Structure 1
Amino acid sequence: MVNNLSESFKNTISLDNLGEIAKETAEITIDTFLKDGVLKELPIVGSLFGVWKTGIAIRDYRFISKLLSFLDESSKLSFEKRERIIEQLEDEEYQSEAGEKLLAIIDQLETASKAKLLGKTLVLFGNKEITREEFWRVTYIIEKLPMPDILALKEWRNIELNLVEDVRRHLYLSVGLGWFVLDFSSTGFCWQERLCEIFEVKLIG
């Protein structure tokens, strides 16, 4: 079943008319969701309806809402670039099931706004503005870091990491946005500049 969902997800991302469907379903309500309708045009949603044979719960609705936010943003990437993007995210050794992993991440995201950021990140990768490794690092940050702490990265250049409150600094360090430097020239916490720039300039700027 997982393999079927992963394949449906790949097929959905590579739909020629994904942009049109995404716009049509972007403001979907729970009533519309329960009636499915146009949602069935998305292969991944059709597969999910097949799984939910005993009825659809609010949790399922929230997942679809996040999925649609992700797809709406992803649709801004050209069809040609979307055709094989899931395969391009895969690595034979570490990321052999990129579609499955992305579905799991979307399911764990707190809000649709995070799913939108994830969609933007996919577009950055598709346009070769970030590497595959950077995509997965940014995705991890989006999944693990609270949204207010993500939005605060817009001003990271004006923030001394050593002076950031302990809880927030610990969160930034735990997801790889900073590290502790101890050498002859510097002692203290420093930002991981490349990742911070991706958030500041390309995702929330």
Structure 2
Amino acid sequence: MSQIENSMIETLRTDFGDVSKEFIEMGIDSILEDGIFKDIPIIGTLSSVFKVGISIRDIYFIKKILSFLSSLEDTSIDDRNEFLSKHSNNSQLGEKLIFILDRIDDLEKPKLIANLFKRYMDNEIDYLTFQRFSLIIEKCFIEDLKFLKNNINEDIITGFEALGLANSGLVSLASFDGGTFNEVDYNPETEYRINDLGKAIRQYAF
């Protein structure tokens, strides 16, 4: 297990309950220099790795990890350690979490990944489903996911959000209408229904 993957698993085994939900507003220097954050194994490791020339991508990678951890604050150390003791391959798990968090494109998405991870910890979904749903979250535009959450009880949905969800496989075609187009406005009127996959993402990621 590499240093970063190992430190991610080590972090899950420790108490990171002091991760502030206000951290996104903090400057990166504060995050890297604050003793509270550097005491978190994964942040301490990344601080060491990034200490010579930190990029914008590095900054947001750290913030995504902190967002993920802050969303796991309602899980106990005992529960996380019990889960990790039963997991068949912690090296693979640490690598997968790092890979997912590195690729997602929005600071709100780590919260959704954390929700999926908690469902996995609780045996509500299996590891393959966790990976599959995480990939869907990664590929979706965050505003489309919010639209899914807020319209889950609607029989029919339309518009750009519905089109985006269709491209991610979370809604199914109900009827087709090309809509109208002019130079200043385009409103697709094709109708979609939220399918079982969309309902599952809503149930487990939010």
TM-score (norm 1): 0.75
Residue 128 (structure 1) aligned to one of 117, 123, 137? 123
Q: For residue 54 of structure 2, give the secondary structure of its aligned residue in structure 1.
A: coil
- Closer/same/farther in 2, CA of residues 87 and 132 from structure 1, 3 Å limit: farther
- Closer/same/farther in 2, CA of residues 45 and 147 from structure 1, 3 Å limit: same
Write the distance in 2 (CA, Å) between the matches of 1:47 and 1:36: 14
- What's the CA shift for 1:109? 1.3
Quote the RMSD (CA, aligned, Å). Answer: 3.1
Preserved CA contact (<8 Å) 1:26 1:72: no
Residue 105 of structure 2 corresponds to which residue in structure 1? 110
Q: For residue 66 of structure 2, give the secondary structure of its aligned residue in structure 1.
A: helix
Q: Which runs of 5+ in 2 are unaligned?
A: 174-190
Residue 20 of structure 2 corresponds to which residue in structure 1? 23
Preserved CA contact (<8 Å) 1:87 1:98: no
Residue 12 of structure 1 corresponds to which residue in structure 2? 11
Q: Which runs of 5+ in 1 are unaligned?
A: 181-187
Write the distance in 2 (CA, Å) between the matches of 1:170 and 1:38: 42
Residues 123-175 of structure 1, C-alpha deviations (whole Å, 9 max, x = no match): 122223333232222211111111011112121341437x66684254222xx
Preserved CA contact (<8 Å) 1:25 1:38: no
Q: After superposition, where does 1:1-205 map in structure 2 within 5 Å?
A: 3-15=2-14, 17-20=15-18, 22-23=19-20, 26-27=23-24, 28-85=26-83, 97-154=92-149, 155-160=151-156, 167-173=163-169, 177-178=170-171, 191-193=194-196, 195-204=197-206
- Closer/same/farther in 2, CA of residues 87 and 112 from structure 1, 3 Å limit: farther
- What's the CA shift for 1:87? 6.6
Preserved CA contact (<8 Å) 1:179 1:190: yes
Residues 15-70 of structure 1, C-alpha deviations (whole Å, 9 max, x = no match): 0x2213x2387454323024343222111112112222413223212111110010
Write the distance in 2 (CA, Å) between the matches of 1:130 and 1:55: 40
- Closer/same/farther in 2, CA of residues 26 and 198 from structure 1, 3 Å limit: farther
Write the distance in 1 (CA, Å) between the matches of 2:195 and 2:57: 35
TM-score (norm 2): 0.74
- What's the CA shift for 1:197? 2.9
Preserved CA contact (<8 Å) 2:37 2:44: yes
Identity value in percent: 28
- What's the CA shift for 1:199? 3.4
Q: For residue 2 of structure 2, give the secondary structure of its aligned residue in structure 1.
A: helix
Q: Which has the higher helix share?
A: 1
Match for 1:66: what amino acid?
K
- Closer/same/farther in 2, CA of residues 119 and 130 from structure 1, 3 Å limit: same
Q: For residue 55 of structure 1, give the secondary structure of its aligned residue in structure 2.
A: coil
